[in-house]
Chain A
């Protein structure tokens, strides 16, 4: 037998379901522009009575009891999340490298400005003028000034490379690691705790999960992370997910834990003046060594590490490479001209020296004290009288092939380059320009892939206003229909109570 008021409950649940649908639609519309928001959906079940629970079998058709709002869930594809994060970490690395390389290019490039090559050319032309009148003191002074400009621009280059490097170390240490990375892992761990609590009480904290996903997306731009979740059994009939994040190195297949549910590990930077290393302060799952520099294969952290530590030989050409190259250029330039100026090897007459008296680098090269004191300290001739053969020798040495030793003071050291100073410098500019070009292409491709993935993800999880509008109209209609059903039921009951059995009254 069907209870009289059974259908009233069906109608009431139908109203509630439509109401819930409209509420969620409203929420979706409201969050159309919210970063990280995942569109929500009301999960509905239809309810039916089961014959199993009744005392006696009641053959016959059984009618369902209507609808039930079971939960409000998110529409999201975890596989796309993983792909998006992989690409975001690749993209983070490339963009960081590209911006660092552009800084370096701005230092050396003389496509539309006048730099070292220009100054060397000017120095050569002043030497030509000196060769015309080798005995003229005023011309000797101008020649020395031209040489001074060459050393000064070398100093400027070296200082700017160091500045770029220091800026990158600062960014990596204070901004990226301390501020962004460490804050994000902590926030993710905090959210893990909150979500776990909510889920334990049986709630579905969609908004918290959105927040966490957004943070994980951001974290993936910083490092090559891998997100996994394991089922965690809370009680007999409650299993919730336990989220872990690790630094995953695809090359070696090893991972280092960063977040495990409510626990998290932070990173710190070591700078020994020559290269920087990344260490990890573990609160769980400590790796074999605290130095995990080489475990970063993606993300902007890797980009910064490449820029800061790249020495360029069989690896990335970073600031160290350009600093060393400038040192090699400066020291060999000084070596070649100092050797030519010295007549008697026992009595060296250096034109260039280091400001601190040590070995010459691009940062400390300057005019020697002797030349500074006397502009005509420059040896014009080996033949006597007022010839200028030695000036011609210097001009020819600057223009023709020279050997660039790794250590200019030691001619048995490794030969880094053979060619003229101009070739060395234009080679260096060519290298940085080609790298910029290459990474620009990489970054362009990568951002394209990333935005395709973003679009794919958006197409699943994003809010479409048309769709919500149609839903809104549809749910309004179902709400009206449910209300009308209620009225019909009401009328039916009214008929039974007030009109039945009154024939002939």
Chain B
């Protein structure tokens, strides 16, 4: 084959161009730390990378939710601790009042103290942070507890009276619904919805708000032949009333006190519930952190470039490039005309 000058120069220009394109690619890899700058350079890698990014972003959302739930549970916990303290305070006062040596006036003072504890209790049950009430179940915007005619109401329902429904069964169901009413959030348990009703399947979400009704207590119990309220506020009210009353009966007050002790165990129960919820969240958060770590490792594998490998490649490519330049400089120059005298 005849080799002409144009063949050599064209071929030479092309190879140099290919070599510098490869050099440029490696240089971009090293300087950006990425295996590919465009999806077309590694399509399957890019699709994997998109999937990983999406998973990471989802986990970030869950972690954010968990942090929010934990913060709100911590708030609720401290409010519950405060209620617990109030109940201890009340217990001390009541024991003092039940002492037979107390005069009528002293009992009246204790009653006043009990009423002030009542007020603090109401305030604590209505605790809120950033305009959101902790103990309202799924109601966060309205004060969940209010007192009308000395009786405590929860989300508008009088806690003493049977709830205004026709049958006891319906009332019981209503109470149950109120007790399980909660705010919930997605913490990566794969949220599902009931195929028929379209309601959220509560086992796939995390309920993080507490229903005040299960802390305060609802309904009435017959104590010594009298209907007595099951809720802390009203019960404290009844005790205060009894201490104030002219016909103070020690037995009656003692019976009420016994019931109050039973009822206030609920507070401890709620604190335990909050504790177990918090530790579940910690567990989930740790699991998600593990997944994040694994995904980030995977991300580096898919998208990242091994610097040592890239630099070695870059160096060897540079050698090829330099060699091509040297060769070219020599092959292009001479022809027979350099030697004709």
A347 on the interface (CB 8 Å rule)? Answer: no
Q: Is B51 an interface residue (CB 8 A)?
A: yes
- Using CB atoms, name the residue of chain B closest to A126: B61
Which of A88-96, A147-155, A453-461, A493-501 touches B? A453-461
A409 at the interface (CB under 8 A from B): no
Q: Which residues of B contact A125 (CB under 8 A)?
A: 57-58, 60-61, 64
Given the interface pairs A430-B39, A459-B2, A469-B335, the reply to whether A121 lies near B46 with Cβ below 8 Å is: no
Tell me if B37 and A388 are in contact (CB < 8 A). Answer: no
Q: How far, in Å, is B66 (CB) from chain A's closest CB?
A: 10
Q: Cβ of A389 < 8 Å from any Cβ of B?
A: yes
- Residue A4 is within 8 A (CB to CB) of chain B in the complex: no
What separation, in Å, do the CA atoms of A124 and B59 have in the docked complex?
Answer: 11
Which of A130-138, A245-253, A350-358 is the interface stretch? A130-138
B296 within 8 A of A: no
Task: List B residues 20-66 near A (Cβ within 8 Å).
Answer: 32, 34, 36-41, 43, 46-47, 49-51, 53-54, 57-58, 60-62, 64-65
A417-B131 Cα distance, complex, nearest whole Å: 44
How far apart are the CA atoms of A385 and B140 in the complex, in Å? 8
Indicate which residue in B39, B53, B336 contacts A470 across the interface (CB closer than 8 Å).
B336
Q: Is B205 an interface residue (CB 8 A)?
A: yes
- Complex contact B50–A426 (CB within 8 A): yes
A392 cross-chain contacts in B, Cβ below 8 A: 184-186, 191, 200, 205
The smallest C-beta distance from A430 to any residue of chain B, in angstroms, reads 5
Residues of B within 8 Å of A, CB-based: how many?
58
Chain A neighbourhood of B41, CB < 8 A: 111, 437
Closest to A131 in B: B185
CA distance A106 to B10 in the complex (A): 31
B60 CB, min distance to chain A CBs, angstroms = 6
> Which has the most chain B C-beta neighbours within 10 Å: A128, A422, A460, A467?
A128
Determine whether A326 belongs to the interface, using a CB cutoff of 8 Å to chain B.
Answer: no
Q: Which residue of B lies closest to A422 (CB)?
A: B54
B210 CB to closest chain A CB (Å) equals: 14
**Distance to closest chain B CB from A407 (angstroms):** 26
A433 and B340 in contact, given A112-B37, A386-B141, A455-B11 (Cβ under 8 angstroms): no
Query: Does A288 have its Cβ within 8 Å of any Cβ on chain B?
Result: no
The residue that B191 contacts in the complex, of A124, A383, A395, with Cβ under 8 A, is: A395
**A99: interface (CB < 8 Å):** no
Count chain A residues whose beta carbon lies closer than 8 angstroms to a beta carbon of B: 62
CA distance A125 to B68 in the complex (A): 13
B1 at the interface (CB under 8 A from A): yes
Min CB distance A81 to B, Å, is 16
CB–CB B139/A133 < 8 A: no
Q: A109-B39, A387-B138, A473-B340 are in contact. Are A133 and B3 (CB under 8 A)?
A: no
Would you list which residues of chain A between 424 and 471 have a CB under 8 Å from chain B? 426, 429-430, 432-434, 436-437, 440, 451, 454-456, 458-460, 462-467, 469-470
Cβ of B148 within 8 Å of any chain A Cβ, yes or no, is no
A389 touching B40, Cβ below 8 Å: no
CA distance A456 to B46 in the complex (A): 41
Is B336 a contact of A459 with CB atoms below 8 Å?
no
Is B109 in contact with chain A by the CB < 8 A criterion? no
Q: Would A385 and B181 count as touching, CB distance under 8 A?
A: yes
Give A120's nearest chain B residue, CB to CB.
Answer: B54
Q: Is A314 an interface residue (CB 8 A)?
A: no
Tell me, rounded to whole Å, the shortest Cβ–Cβ distance linking B2 to chain A. 5
CB-based nearest A residue for B62: A128
Q: Is the CB of A462 within 8 A of B64?
A: no
Task: Name A396's contact: one of B132, B191, B335 (CB within 8 Å).
Answer: B191
The verdict on B330 contacting chain A, using a C-beta distance below 8 Å, is no
- Chain A residues contacting B49 (CB-CB under 8 Å) are 111
Which residues of A lie under 8 Å from residue B61 when comparing CB positions?
124-125, 128-129
Q: How far is the CA of A399 from the CA of B41 in the complex (A)?
A: 27
A76 part of interface (Cβ distance < 8 Å) = no
- Which residues of A in the span 205-224 have a Cβ within 8 Å of any Cβ on B? none
Contact of A464 among B5, B185, B191 (CB under 8 A): B5
Q: In the docked arrangement, what's the CA distance between A133 and B141, Å?
A: 10
Partner of B337, one of A112, A429, A465: A465
Question: Which residues of chain B have C-beta atoms less than 8 A from A434's C-beta?
Answer: 40, 43
Give the residue name and chain of the B residue nearest to A384 (CB): B138
Query: Judging by beta carbons under 8 Å apart, are B6 and A463 in contact?
Result: yes
8 Å CB contact of A437 from B10, B40, B138, B181:
B40
* Minimal beta-carbon separation of B31 from chain A (angstroms): 12
Indicate whether A382 reaches chain B with its CB closer than 8 angstroms.
yes
Asked if A118 is at the interface (CB within 8 A of a chain B CB), the reply is yes
Q: Does A41 count as interface, using CB distance less than 8 angstroms?
A: no
Picked from B47, B65, B140, B340, the residue with its CB within 8 Å of the CB of A135 is B140
Known contacts A392-B186, A433-B38, A436-B40: A463-B5 contact under CB 8 Å: yes
B103 proximal to A (CB < 8 A): no
User: Which B residues are closer than 8 A to A by beta carbons?
Assistant: 1-7, 10-11, 14, 32, 34, 36-41, 43, 46-47, 49-51, 53-54, 57-58, 60-62, 64-65, 68-69, 130-132, 137-141, 181, 183-186, 191, 193, 198-200, 205, 335-337, 340
| 14 chain-A/chain-B pairs, Cβ below 8 angstroms | A128-B62, A132-B69, A135-B131, A136-B132, A388-B183, A392-B200, A392-B205, A395-B191, A399-B58, A429-B46, A433-B39, A459-B7, A465-B5, A469-B336
Name the 3 nearest CB pairs between A and B, nearest first: A462-B4, A469-B336, A433-B39
Further contacts, 15 of them, CB under 8 A, given A136-B131, A459-B7, A463-B5: A112-B38, A117-B54, A121-B54, A124-B58, A136-B132, A383-B138, A384-B138, A429-B50, A440-B40, A454-B10, A460-B2, A462-B5, A464-B3, A464-B4, A465-B5
